[in-house]
Amino acid sequence: MAYFQPVALEHASRLVNHGPTVLVTSASDGRRNVMAAAWSMPVEFTPPRIAVVIDKKTFTRELMMESGTFGICVPGSALMDITYAVGSESGRDVDKYAKYGITPTTGPVLGLPLIETGCAAWLECKLISEPHTEEAYDTCFGEVVAAAADSRVFDRGHWKFDDSNASLHTIHHLGAGNFVRVSGMVAAKRL
């Protein structure tokens, strides 16, 4: 087709990775952090397991490895600017929760700092040790031990995106600080 043009391989993953940007939370020995991650996905249903790419040089990864735990929070469009901000700086020298006015709640199972205000959902995870994939690909796996979602946007196991809950619509990072948010949900007809 004449409309198709080559895409630089450095941008190829963006063609298929338009899932929600997430906030990864971590804590260890009185230190805490939150960062944005664009690459996360489910990898198992029972028990529920997820994968998330976290660079080995990040403060979040350091805290994850120390504690063996991490949280995943799914920000709504109301948190787009904060999501970009916490994903653009390290937490080694600054408490991003304090700097950006983020008030975490305490996770019910692992005691992780989780974010509810402005988020559609959160998951508490135990790190599944996979040294090779962690080192080679910066991919970390976690078993979900607790999860919750805002019923205005996720109810009885299904997403519901409409005009009444636009501030909770998930956001999707396209690179360089550009995001899109979910909207215009339509249901397929059975054929």
Q: Where are the domains of the chain?
A: 4-181
Of 60, 65, 39, 61, nearest to 50 by C-alpha is 39
Q: C-alpha angle with apex 105: 45 to 101, nearest 5 degrees? A: 120
At 65-103, the pLDDT tens digits run: 999 999 999 999 999 999 999 999 999 999 999 999 999
At 68-77, the pLDDT tens digits run: 999 999 999 9
What is d(CA 125, CA 114) in angstroms, rounded to the nearest whole number? 11
What is d(CA 115, CA 123) in angstroms, rounded to the nearest whole number? 10
Q: Which fold has domain 4-181?
A: Pnp Oxidase; Chain A (2.30.110)
Is the preceding peptide bond at 47 cis, omega within 30 degrees of 0?
yes
